[in-house]
Chains A and B, each alone.
Chain A
Amino acid sequence: MPEVKPPLSSSVDSGIMPRKLYAIGAEFAGPKELFAAAEKVRDKGYKNWDCYTPFYIHGLDQAMGAGKSYVNLFTFFGGMGGLVGAFLLIVITSVYVYPINTQGKPYFSLPGFVPILDLVMILASAFVTLFGMIALNGMPRLQHPLWDWEAFTRATHDKFFIVIEVFDPKFSEKGAIDALREAGGTNLTYIGEDE
């Protein structure tokens, strides 16, 4: 007889555990409830946990105790890289490698180079910002354990979730369930992961 596989996600109340636990999640009714709950979970000292919302909620990152984002550094260094790269490209080609006398203008005519320096700087910083954001967000991803949780499909729509992961140094099954219950979460769920 084939072995019955437990489902990848199952309600905490049912008592069925997935084979390999990834996290414990709970659902919250709205932004206000989520905000209050995030402060409570933060105060318990958890680190590897996250809130999932359909839209950006101002101040939620502070309520979670999450640090600031460093996407702006990508913008700055991307822009600087573009500027230096464009300067080298123009100067090496127009001054040293292929100097062409046009209308008697000097080979090194910096004012005439400014528009292209500016545009390449913008181009580079935009792309580096985009890739920086993608990298910092751990994207792209085609699979994630959370997507096996049926209720989670509404996380991009109108439901709000808090998920505490097992990698958290303070994680214990009972502690996480209690923390989420205390914070007012409903529909507590074990979220499993493929072995």
Chain B
Amino acid sequence: MGYLTPSTKITPPRWDLLARHDDNERAQAEKDIIREPYVTNNRDATWVGDRIASAIENPTPLWWFIGVSISGAVAGLAGLGILYLILTGVGVWGENNSANWAWDITNFVFWIGIGHAGTMIAAILYLTRQRWATGINRAAETMTVFAVMCAGVYPGVHIGRVWMAWYLAPIPNGNAIWPNFRSPLLWDVFAVSTYLSVSIVFWYVGLIPDMAAMRDRVKNKILKYVYAVLCLGWRGSARQWVNYEYCYPMLAGIATLLVISTCTVVSSDFSTSVVPGWHGTIFLPYFGVGAIYGGFCMLITLLVPLRELYKFQDLITLRHIDLCCRYVLLMACLITYIYLMEFFVAYTGGSPNERFTFFRDRIFGPYSMTWVCMLLFNSVIPMLLWSKKIRRNPWVAFTVIIFPSIGMWLERFVIIVSSVHRDYLPSAWGMFYPTYVDILTFTGTFGIFFLCYLLFIRFMPMIAIAEIRAVLPESNPHTPPAVVRDGEPEPAKEETHA
């Protein structure tokens, strides 16, 4: 009888097989099963607050001044590039008649993608009760806000006559023309501005209790006043916490919806057109996966130096780096699948133009090197992260992650430029080469990003103090006291890097 009937005899489990394992194996298995704590070295709530606030209260380190000077100078380059563009016209960029979209949209999608991972970490991991994410969510949300600001530079100026930018908004104007609500480009205006506003709201709500904590501890009168105003008079009463803890998942749910909507809208800028290489239904997940991929890479790039510089090794633990690397790995696999699927669809789709784009132009065309590097950086090199040794070694992981960060930029370049530079008619074929204004503006956006980030970490708690405290074992009123077995020492409070 293949199925279970009342008369079927059930074989009892073979416990004797388990018994063959020796004590060492069992001890190792127990160690593997027990999850690492969110905060290592048995740190308590007081330590958490002191350590995070030390980044604000201690004298400003020298490297911070150097970093701010360099990133400020680089941000100035973007200012120069944008000023020159506004005074002269979009012709100063390398765009031409076949490649109408090039670095501006590449950089826009690159930065908006980095922005998406921040919300993904803060909102989706919060909703799925990934409580380890409390250690990194503030860093990720901050990254979102500044990355979306950098992304916003491009749609702001690429319209050419920036003083006409108000035409984008649905307000009555003298020509009696309203924005076309059926156009993906208008969806984009709404998506990016909504994304920026909602991610600022989400970030701000997370900051309220921490700013109140800073208000109660800083000595500087001006800072105290600023925190007192910004935290809106938070007192931390249990009745306030209830509303707060209801508000947070609501916003997380909204933000999750928004991540998906914004990815979809940005991708529909491309997929609703009839350009071979853009016209694909796979673009919706493609952009979502790409965004999360690039964002996790950027997050690791930020976290690894920060935890060393501010001695946050107990708060941003090796486990955090490990888990972020696993997400990178997952996204690398998904994006490789999508790369392959694009070729599969182009082959089976039967459109000669699409086959040309993928099988001739991408692989053998003038931009083939970008495609090869993209594949190498995004699909091959991240496979090193299958090794736990690499994931657990922050600086090695940091080095590996640099490659997909560049690869994700190349991916956007491949999607955008190598799809449009070959038009349907060979007479309309062209090439895109970036001008120095393109390069200045793009380099400058990194300056803007790092300048904002450095200013933020100097004046605001860069790790969510209240949220980390809430996940400490001692914070749960129902935790049984830790069992100390006979012969075992009590868990020591190590002062490794106090």
Is B244 touching A50 in the complex (CB atoms < 8 A)?
no
Is B235 touching A120 in the complex (CB atoms < 8 A)?
no
Give per-residue flags for A55-99: 1 if the beta carbon is below 8 A from chain B beta carbons, else 0: 111111100101011111001000100000000011001100110
The verdict on B241 contacting chain A, using a C-beta distance below 8 Å, is yes
Residues of A near B184 (CB, < 8 A) are: 115
Is B251 touching A129 in the complex (CB atoms < 8 A)?
yes
Q: With A69-B246, A115-B187, A158-B46 as known contacts, state yes or no: A123 contacts B261, CB within 8 Å.
A: no
**Whole-angstrom CA separation of A118 from B260 in the bound complex:** 11
Is A69 touching B181 in the complex (CB atoms < 8 A)?
no
**Whole-angstrom CA separation of A119 from B187 in the bound complex:** 9
The verdict on A146 contacting chain B, using a C-beta distance below 8 Å, is yes
Residues of A near B440 (CB, < 8 A) are: none
Q: With A115-B187, A130-B205, A133-B243 as known contacts, state yes or no: A54 contacts B181, CB within 8 Å.
A: no
The verdict on B238 contacting chain A, using a C-beta distance below 8 Å, is yes
A-side residues, CB < 8 A to B, are 30-32, 34-36, 38, 50-61, 64, 66, 68-72, 75, 79, 89-90, 93-94, 97-98, 100, 102, 105, 109, 112-113, 115-116, 118-120, 122-123, 125-127, 129-130, 132-134, 136-144, 146, 153-158
Is A137 touching B243 in the complex (CB atoms < 8 A)?
yes
Is A31 touching B466 in the complex (CB atoms < 8 A)?
no
Q: Which of B2-10, B85-93, B189-197, B337-345 is the contact stretch?
A: B189-197
Q: With A54-B466, A55-B466, A115-B191 as known contacts, state yes or no: A154 contacts B261, CB within 8 Å.
A: no
Please tell me which one of the listed residues B180, B201, B238 contacts residue A53 in the complex, with CB atoms under 8 A apart.
B238
When A and B form their complex, what is the total count of cross-chain residue pairs whose Cβ atoms lie within 8 Å?
Answer: 212
Is A100 touching B470 in the complex (CB atoms < 8 A)?
no
**Whole-angstrom CA separation of A139 from B181 in the bound complex:** 38
Residues of A near B212 (CB, < 8 A) are: 156
Is B233 touching A142 in the complex (CB atoms < 8 A)?
yes
Is B250 touching A72 in the complex (CB atoms < 8 A)?
yes
Residues of A near B264 (CB, < 8 A) are: 115
Q: Which 5 A-B pairs have the closest CB atoms?
A: A141-B233, A112-B182, A35-B477, A140-B232, A133-B247
**Whole-angstrom CA separation of A116 from B250 in the bound complex:** 20
Please tell me which one of the listed residues B177, B245, B251, B262 contacts residue A56 in the complex, with CB atoms under 8 A apart.
B245
9 new A-B contacts at CB < 8 Å, known A50-B237, A56-B244, A144-B235: A30-B474, A53-B241, A56-B466, A57-B241, A60-B241, A66-B238, A126-B201, A143-B233, A153-B217
Q: With A34-B477, A126-B201, A127-B201 as known contacts, state yes or no: A132 contacts B236, CB within 8 Å.
A: no
Residues of B near A119 (CB, < 8 A) are: 187, 190-191, 194, 258, 261-262, 265
Residues of A near B254 (CB, < 8 A) are: 75, 79, 122, 125-126, 129
Give per-residue flags for B173-185: 1 if the beta carbon is below 8 A from chain A beta carbons, else 0: 0001110111110
The verdict on B257 contacting chain A, using a C-beta distance below 8 Å, is yes
Taking the closest CB of chain B, its distance from the CB of A83, in whole angstroms, is 12
The main secondary structure of chain A at its interface with chain B is helix
Residues of A near B236 (CB, < 8 A) are: 52-54, 155-156
Please tell me which one of the listed residues B202, B238, B253 contacts residue A61 in the complex, with CB atoms under 8 A apart.
B238
The verdict on B239 contacting chain A, using a C-beta distance below 8 Å, is yes
| Interface size in chain B (residues, C-beta < 8 A) | 69
Is A61 touching B239 in the complex (CB atoms < 8 A)?
yes
**Whole-angstrom CA separation of A146 from B190 in the bound complex:** 43
B-side residues, CB < 8 A to A, are 44-46, 49, 170, 176-178, 180-184, 186-187, 190-191, 194, 197-198, 201-202, 204-205, 209, 212-213, 215-217, 228-229, 232-247, 250-251, 253-255, 257-258, 261-262, 264-265, 268, 466-467, 469-470, 474-478
Is B239 touching A115 in the complex (CB atoms < 8 A)?
no
**Whole-angstrom CA separation of A158 from B44 in the bound complex:** 9
Residues of A near B178 (CB, < 8 A) are: 93-94, 97-98, 100
Please tell me which one of the listed residues B204, B228, B238, B476 contacts residue A50 in the complex, with CB atoms under 8 A apart.
B238
**Whole-angstrom CA separation of A146 from B240 in the bound complex:** 15
Taking the closest CB of chain B, its distance from the CB of A100, in whole angstroms, is 7
**Whole-angstrom CA separation of A151 from B453 in the bound complex:** 34
Is B243 touching A123 in the complex (CB atoms < 8 A)?
no
Q: With A94-B178, A98-B178, A112-B182 as known contacts, state yes or no: A71 contacts B466, CB within 8 Å.
A: no
Best-surrounded residue of B239, B250, B253, B470 (most CB of chain A within 10 A): B250
Is A55 touching B469 in the complex (CB atoms < 8 A)?
yes
Residues of B near A38 (CB, < 8 A) are: 238
**Whole-angstrom CA separation of A136 from B234 in the bound complex:** 12
**Whole-angstrom CA separation of A164 from B437 in the bound complex:** 65
**Whole-angstrom CA separation of A113 from B254 in the bound complex:** 19
**Whole-angstrom CA separation of A93 from B170 in the bound complex:** 9
Is A55 touching B467 in the complex (CB atoms < 8 A)?
yes
Taking the closest CB of chain A, its distance from the CB of B43, in whole angstroms, is 12
**Whole-angstrom CA separation of A112 from B186 in the bound complex:** 11
Residues of A near B238 (CB, < 8 A) are: 38, 50-53, 57, 60-61, 64, 66
**Whole-angstrom CA separation of A166 from B46 in the bound complex:** 32
Taking the closest CB of chain A, its distance from the CB of B256, in whole angstroms, is 10
**Whole-angstrom CA separation of A154 from B477 in the bound complex:** 19
Residues of B near A155 (CB, < 8 A) are: 216, 235-236
**Whole-angstrom CA separation of A30 from B183 in the bound complex:** 57
**Whole-angstrom CA separation of A138 from B237 in the bound complex:** 11
**Whole-angstrom CA separation of A146 from B245 in the bound complex:** 22
A64's nearest neighbour on chain B, judged by CB, is B238
